[in-house]
Structure 1
Amino acid sequence: MRNFTVRIFLILLISVVFTSCFEIIEEVTLHENGSGKILLTFNASQSKSKLASVMLLDSVQGYKVPSKAAITEEVTYLVKELKKANGISNVTYTVDYDSYIITLGCNFKQVDNINSFSQSLWDKQRMKGTFKSYDFNLASKLFKRHFAYAPKLKKDFNTLKSADKAVFNNATYTVIYRFDTEVSTYSNQQAKLSKSKKAMMMRLPITHIINGESSIENTIQLTK
């Protein structure tokens, strides 16, 4: 589930340990020339009342509760880094503490711009490994969403207390893709194709991704 929001995702996971329902949405719009835009949304609006109460505390169940200032600082950091990245433009973000919805988005000249930015963040976190989320072959019109399942994710998840695991029971990860041309084939059968055949959506329980039961990986062939 690595993506270009490594830092914000880590701090948000700490936040949602104290709530019961949240959603992460990944939206990618890809144009015929390989450019496009991406928008990531963290939505905990269904638990906003509980979150508002928790944010007033210093810690809960041994976890330090991040302040609004700390969360805003992380978002600001990502925005600053995005604006300096090659091939990235029109960086936008919102931080809504009334509904507990955070968004971060940008335009890209090619999907490799997103991969390069993700890798740089990953390296700054001193994490090992090569990062690559997307591929798009302009000639063949083949779009790929990569996802490599790490068994360690399940192992780490299983070390959590039962109450902490329960937080993820209703959590979902949604991916939405939009294209200029129609989709002819796709590999992940959990995805749903729109009537126009130019958009696709997949909503998965986060626990299924953690346990390796489902994957967001997909190979999508667009019409030439």
Structure 2
Amino acid sequence: MHKKGFKVFFLGLFILCTSCFEIIEEVSFNKDGSGHVTLTMNLSRSKTKLNSIMLLDSVNNHKVPSKTEIKNKIAEVIQKVKRVKGISNVENSSNFDEYIFTVSCDFTNVEALNTVISNFSAKKDAAIIKQHQHFSFNKTQNTFTRNYHYDLAREFKKTNMEDRKVLENATMTTIYRFESPIVSSKNPIAKISGSKKAIMLRVSAQDVIKNKSSIKNQIKLQK
């Protein structure tokens, strides 16, 4: 959850101009390691401000892109995702009335899923994702792991005060669904559903920066 990644996620300028946004990461995971992922950028709470921004030429020395330019950037990223080995059924939607942008696809294994995630990050960060793997699945132990290797606090200190406002009210929500019941979760603030087959975690960017919370988790599934 970081600004460089957001910029590649089509909407960098919008994010630089609003601190009210949410990233939602949903993964439905099958026993064989395949699954479906949906990534959503929701800026609807700032739609009034964004509508005003779209009428300007630039904001804070950043050029305001047209809807056509944004759509073209989205199309570029979607084409990259479609070329990833092990990825199929790629879909995307762009709602410029509510400013909600979504990408979804099926994956055959977590390696393909990690590659998809890397396409929404800056080049340096994409290499880190591929090296360390944001997602992993141990079939022997039946554990699904969500890692996070980006030092948001360090990068936050490098930014100016204006750019720091970007993360004032930003949040990230992760929702993972499984075929098998969840036995345990290592993240204490993650909430397991009544069916034991889904788990949700919602964190604020500020809490991640202050090391009060993390999106990291290891989820053990019933064999």
Q: TM (normalized to structure 2)?
A: 0.87
Residues 218, 89 of structure 1: alpha-carbon distance in 2 compared, 3 angstrom cutoff: same
Distance 1:6 1:110, change over 3 A: farther
Pair 1:56–1:6, CA change in 2 (3 A):
closer
The 8 Å contact of residues 28 and 35 in structure 2, kept in 1 or not, is answered as: yes
| Structure 2: runs of 5 or more not aligned | none
Between structures 1 and 2, the one with greater helix share: 2
| 1:75-126 Cα shifts (integer Å, max 9, x gaps) | 111211111111101101001101100000100011111223445776x835
2:133 is aligned to 132
Alignment correspondent of 1:8: 8
- RMSD, aligned α-carbons: 2.3
Pair 1:6–1:82, CA change in 2 (3 A): farther
Q: Which moved more, 1:99-108 or 1:203-212?
A: 203-212
The amino acid of 1:132's aligned partner reads: Q
Aligned positions, number: 218
CA contact (8 A) 2:192 2:199 kept: yes
Distance 2:15 2:96 in 1: 14
The amino acid of 2:143's aligned partner reads L
Output aligned runs, 1:74-223, within 5 Å. Answer: 74-118=73-117, 125=123, 129=128, 130-150=131-151, 153-223=152-222
Q: State percent identity of aligned pairs.
A: 39
Instruction: Tell whether 2:52 aligns with 1:47.
Output: no
1:15-35 deviation digits (Å, cap 9, x = unpaired): 122124111100010011111
Letter in 2 for 1:108: F
Deviations 1:143-197 (A, max 9, x none): 01111242xx324323444344234222110000001111001111111111111
Structure 1 pair 213–65 and aligned structure 2 pair: CA distance change class (3 A): farther
2:30 is aligned to 31
Residues 153 and 208 in structure 2, CA contact (< 8 A), matched pair in contact too: no
Q: Distance in 2 between matches of 1:166 and 1:83?
A: 34
Aligned partner of 2:217: which letter?
A: N
- SS of the residue 2:167 aligns to: coil
Tell me, yes or no, if the aligned pair for 2:21 and 2:45 is still in contact at 8 Å: yes
Secondary structure in 2 matching 1:85: coil
Tell me the secondary structure at the aligned position of residue 69 of structure 1.
helix
Please list every run of 5 or more consecutive structure 1 residues that lacks an aligned counterpart in the other structure: none
Contact 2:16–2:163 (Cα < 8 Å) also in 1 = yes
Measured in 2, the distance between the counterparts of 1:203 and 1:38 equals: 17
Asked if 1 retains the 8 angstrom alpha-carbon contact of 2:6 and 2:12, the reply is no
Q: Structure 2: which amino acid aligns with 1:125?
A: K
